[in-house]
Amino acid sequence: MNIFNYEGTCQYALNVTNDGPATLDVPVTVTAQLECADRQAKYLYLFEDDARRTVQTVSHERASVSFIYTDYTGVRTVQVTAYLYTHPLFLVASGKTIFRIEEYIPGTLDISGIIERKRGRKFLKSGVSTNITVHLQYPEQVLHDAEFAYSWNIEDEHFTTENSNIVHRFTKAGPQWIRVTVAGRIPSYSNRNMFRYKWGYFDAEVTVKDPIFNISINGNTYLEHGQLLDLDITCNGSGPVEYCWKVLPPKGNYTNLTCSDLDTATGCAFPILYYFRDSGDYLLAIHVNNLVTSLQRDVEVHIYDGR
Return the H-helix or E-strand segment holding 143.
helix 140-145
Q: What is the pLDDT at residue 1?
A: 54
* CB contact at 8 A, 126 and 206: no
What does DSSP assign to residue 51?
Answer: T
Domains 107-209 and 215-304 share a fold: yes
* pLDDT tens-digit series, residues 53-104: 999 999 999 999 999 999 999 999 999 999 999 999 999 999 999 999 999 9
Q: Say what the pLDDT of residue 226 is.
A: 92
pTM reported for the whole predicted model: 0.83
Tell me the average pLDDT of the chain: 93
What are the tens digits of pLDDT across the range 116-139? 777 788 999 999 999 999 999 999
The whole-number pLDDT of residue 155 equals 94
SS3 167: strand
Counting residues of the chain whose pLDDT is more than 70, the rounded percentage is 95
Q: In angstroms, what CA-CA distances link 19 with 9, 136, 139, 231?
A: 32, 12, 5, 62
Which residues are 111's β-sheet partners?
Answer: 132
CATH match of 13-102 with 2.60.40.10: yes
Q: Identify each DSSP E strand in 27-164 by its residue range.
A: 27-35, 43-49, 54-59, 62-68, 74-84, 90-102, 107-111, 115-116, 122-125, 129-136, 147-154, 157-161
Measured at the alpha carbon of residue 212, what is the angle toward residues 209 and 218, in degrees to the nearest 5?
A: 130
Secondary structure in 3-state letters for 197-229? EEEEEEEEEEEEECCCCCEEEECCCEEECCCEE
Query: What distance in Å separates the CA atoms of residue 298 and residue 287, rounded to the nearest whole number?
Result: 9
Give the residue extent of every domain in the chain.
Answer: 13-102, 107-209, 215-304
Quote the pLDDT of residue 45.
98
215-304: CATH number: 2.60.40.2410
- Give the C-alpha separation, 134 to 107, whole Å: 7
The DSSP string of 86-113 is SSS-EEEEEEEEEEEEESS--EEEEETT
Q: Give 266's strand partners.
A: none
Residue 14, classified by CB atoms within 10 Å of its CB into exposed (0-12), middle (13-18) or buried (19+), is buried
* Alpha-carbon gap, residue 135 to 151, rounded angstroms: 14
Q: Does domain 107-209 have CATH number 2.60.40.10?
A: yes
